[in-house]
Structures are given as structure tokens and as C-alpha cells.
Amino acid sequence: LRDRLKDPSLLREQCYIDGAWTGSGSIAVTNPATGGEIGRIPSLGATEATAAIEAAEHAFPAWAKLTAKQRSNILRKWFELIVANREDLALILTSEQGKPLTEALGEVDIGAAYIEFFAEEARRVYGETIPTQRPDARLIAIKQPIGVCAAITPWNFPNSMITRKVSPALAAGCTVVLKPAEETPFSALALAALAEKAGLPKGVFNIVTGDAPPIGKVFCEHPAVRFVGFTGSTEVGKILYKQSAVGVKKLGLELGGNAPFIVFDDADIDAAVEGAMVSKYRNMGQTCVCANRLYVQDGVYDAFVEKLAAKVKAMKVGNGTEQGVTQGPLINDAAVEKTERHIADALANGAKVITGGKRHALGGTFFEPTVLADVRPDALVAHEETFGPLAPVFRFKDEAEVVKLANASPFGLASYFYARDLGRVWRVAEALESGMVGVNTGLITTEVAPFGGVKESGLGREGSHHGIEEYVEIKYVMMAGI
């Protein structure tokens, strides 16, 4: 991989703590498309995580004291360096994660867009003045950075899940310690290399790689850490939530989803098929906002399934770096096995395969993009997130029934529906229990809008002007004796 980068120094095999590149590679990172080793990363633990937190703690006062404009300028420079190196960053990303190169470029661009947005937002962290309740006093509320922030990120978006946590934190005046996913550390380390080039002072942004549970425990329990931001599985999110109770830390959790994708009789069917393709098969179905359950109304069911299957059959599976590939490999064997389990369960209960349904002839973790029809409402796939390229299509009769089915989940991250009737659009958008709703679209993520879930899908919002609020504390000051 190093030979194919324009700037080989972006591929780092060391961690970044207190402005120094440290540790030596011992954990192998492999390319899911080939199984080949890309490089090695250090296997750090609680001691190094503590050192990184203490570096961030030490760096915090000076970083917080800079003016918003000074912080903004450094973030802006970081953004510009990422844009200038987008091809290298995308190649690193595809090599460790598997998604097609065009999608990796898209991720690098939105990842950079978060930094650009929060560089701007840094200057808009306004406080307020409050009409007083007593004549001799004046009341104000100011906003201050919360302190050292810890972040733990997943492998499915190795770039943008980092920037959307780190850039609002830095913009607000916080310092950060990050543990990226062990499958995809090189995107994170490349971002740190560029942050260093942009002039980020030492200790402001630190990265540790290694054994997740002990590092996570230190992040949750070290008294200097005031905020723990996590994107990943609900299971791990709950562990972090419990661990953080000891020190009453603030948490941002972006956990699992189980997105319903509903197509009503009055929908534009071709648009709905397009939306389903993007929402379901982007990143091989490995996004937390992927359509997981497709509910299609009786009158358009057959037409929808037929058109969707035609598009799915036309997809090209292969190594993400090859021209024209739209589906790369899944991240690992466990991901393939879960997809297989969901398919087997649906078939055992009367569903039928319209296309795909099994491992791809390419071997490894390549899987055929799949469409199943006549799936029963009680299928496993209705209750669990697949995180694979499987579209199970359920049939429904009316609006009340489908809203009930859609909401019958402990998760509530994203939902999608296609309809034209204005009354229905409002009714359903308001009735769906999720943090985000896409109406007549399958792609909702943008740096300017609040991303996050309800119920067991998480806490807090990332992106938009709300995203920076997570990283500040409100301090109320009463000035009396006037």
C-alpha cells in the first residue's frame, strides 16, 4: 500500500501521544479484500491510555484559552490538508475497510466537511443574558469546554466517525484521546499525521491502539475525562455507560439501529428503488443507518421487488479498488455468518430468494447482494440489525399496521419512507420512533443536520450546531451587589 500512496508518510504504524509517534507495530491489520497484511499497529493498554489522557489534561488549559478564531484556523488548515490528500486517505480507507474507492472518497469528503463545519461553528458558541429576578443582580450563562474527551470509534466509517467527534470537541476547546477500531486504525493515524502538520499543539489530539476493554475502562474511569463519545454496538455502548457511572461522565452514544424502509402505494416506485439501493447496499449494508427492514404496501409490492432485484443483480462485487466495483467484501467472517443466519431463518419461515442468498464465488468475505421476498414479520431480521447486503422485503396492508411494525423495536436511529400524500407524509414522519427520518430519500447524513438516535440507539447528537453543544458545559453566573 505504501508504494501506491502519493505521500507514503500518511501510513503510520505508531500511535500518537503527546505530540510524539510512539510504540511499535505488533497487531497485524489486514485487507479484507485480499487477506494480505497492510501493516502493524502498537498493542497498547491501560498504562499508555492513562499517559494519553494525562497529555490531553496537560494540554487542555492552553488549548481552551486560545480564541475561537485561533482554534478555528488550525481546524481549517487540517480540513484543507485532508482535502489535498483525499486520494491517499481514500486508498488507505478502502485497503483496511473494503468499501469501494468511490465510497471511500465520499467518506473522506464528508469527514473533512465535519471539520470545516465545526471550524466555522467554533466562533458561534454563544452564551446568554437572563432578565434578572432581583434589582441588585445580573444573570448570565456562559459556555465552557467540558474538558478532556475520550472517543471510541468503529470500523465501518474509519474516517468520518472520528472527525465528527474530534472536530466539535477541538472547536469547543476540549482536548481528545481516541481509540479507533482495531480493524481500521490507519485512517485514524493518517488523520493525526495531518492534524500535526496543520499545527495542532502536542497533547491536544492523541491516539492509542490496542486492547479495547482495558483502554475503554481507563477512558470511562479516569477522573480527568469528562466526556466519552462512542459509536459502535449497543452491547459495548452499555458497558461504557455502566463504567462511566462511577465518575458521572457525560456520554455521547451512537449505537445500533434497525431502520425500517417503507414504500407506500402512492410512492414514486423508481425513486423508492433508488433510495433502497443507496440506503441498503452502501458500504455493503454495514452502516448503522442502513435500511434493515423493507416494508412495501400490497399494491406495489411485486413491482418494487422486481425492480429492486434487477438493480441488485447489476451490482459488481469485487475488490473496492477495482474500477466499477459497487460491493466490496464484508469486514470479517462474523459479518458473513450473521448475514447467512438471517437468510436461513427467513427461508425456514417461508421467505424466498429473489437474488443472491449466499457467499460470493470470489470467496473470502465476499457475499452476494441479496433480496428476499415474502418475509414474515416475526423473522429474526425484523428484530436484529443484519449489517450485511441483505434486503428482506415484508408486505403490509395499511398505514397504521406498518407504523406499528416499524416502531416495534428497541432501536430508533433512522427510518425511511416513500409517499406522496402530504397528510400521510406528516403523520408518518411524526409517528416513527427514530432520531432521523428520510422522506423520499435513502441518504440523510450531512454535517449540517443532527445525527443520532432515540431509545436504545443512543444518546446525544453529532453534526449540526447541536453537535458542538455536547462538548460544552453551561455555567450560570449571578453578579450581585450592583
Footprint of ligand ADP (CB under 6 A): 152-154, 179, 181-182, 212-213, 216, 232-233, 236, 239
16 in Cβ contact with 192 (< 8 Å): yes
Which member of 254, 274, 433, 456 is catalytic? 254
For residues 260 and 289, give the distance between their C-alpha atoms in angstroms, rounded to a whole number.
10
Closest approach of Cβ 213 to ligand ADP, in Å? 4
Closest approach of Cβ 334 to ligand ADP, in Å? 8
Closest CB to ligand ADP among 153 and 445?
153
Closest approach of Cβ 246 to ligand ADP, in Å? 14
Closest approach of Cβ 111 to ligand ADP, in Å? 16
Closest approach of Cβ 441 to ligand ADP, in Å? 25
For residues 314 and 78, give the distance between their C-alpha atoms in angstroms, rounded to a whole number.
39
> DSSP character for 28?
E
For residues 471 and 437, give the distance between their C-alpha atoms in angstroms, rounded to a whole number.
25
Closest approach of Cβ 46 to ligand ADP, in Å? 12
- C-alpha cell recorded at residue 153: 470509534
63 in Cβ contact with 69 (< 8 Å): no
| b/e burial code for range 243-270 (CB count within 10 A of at least 16 → b) | bbeeeebbbbbbbbbbbbbbbbbebebe
The residue whose Cβ lies closest to ligand ADP is: 216
CA distances from 350 to 2, 106, 375, 377, 378 (A): 49, 38, 7, 11, 11
Closest approach of Cβ 225 to ligand ADP, in Å? 13
Strands (E), 33-155: 37-41, 128-130, 138-145, 148-152
Question: Amino acid identity, residue 363?
Answer: G
For residues 409 and 9, give the distance between their C-alpha atoms in angstroms, rounded to a whole number.
46
Closest CB to ligand ADP among 236 and 393?
236
Q: How far is CA 44 from the centre of its chain?
A: 24
> DSSP character for 258?
-
Closest CB to ligand ADP among 253 and 425?
253
Closest CB to ligand ADP among 72 and 163?
163
Closest CB to ligand ADP among 239 and 439?
239
- C-alpha cell recorded at residue 333: 467472517
Closest CB to ligand ADP among 39 and 145?
39
| Closest CA relative to residue 101, chosen from 319, 407, 342 | 319
**With 0-12 CB in 10 A as exposed, 13-18 as middle and 19+ as buried, what is 9?**
exposed
Closest CB to ligand ADP among 334 and 479?
334
Q: Does 96 participate in catalysis according to the annotation?
A: no
The vertex-216 CA angle with 212 and 218, nearest 5°, equals 125
Instruction: Give the active site residues.
Output: 254
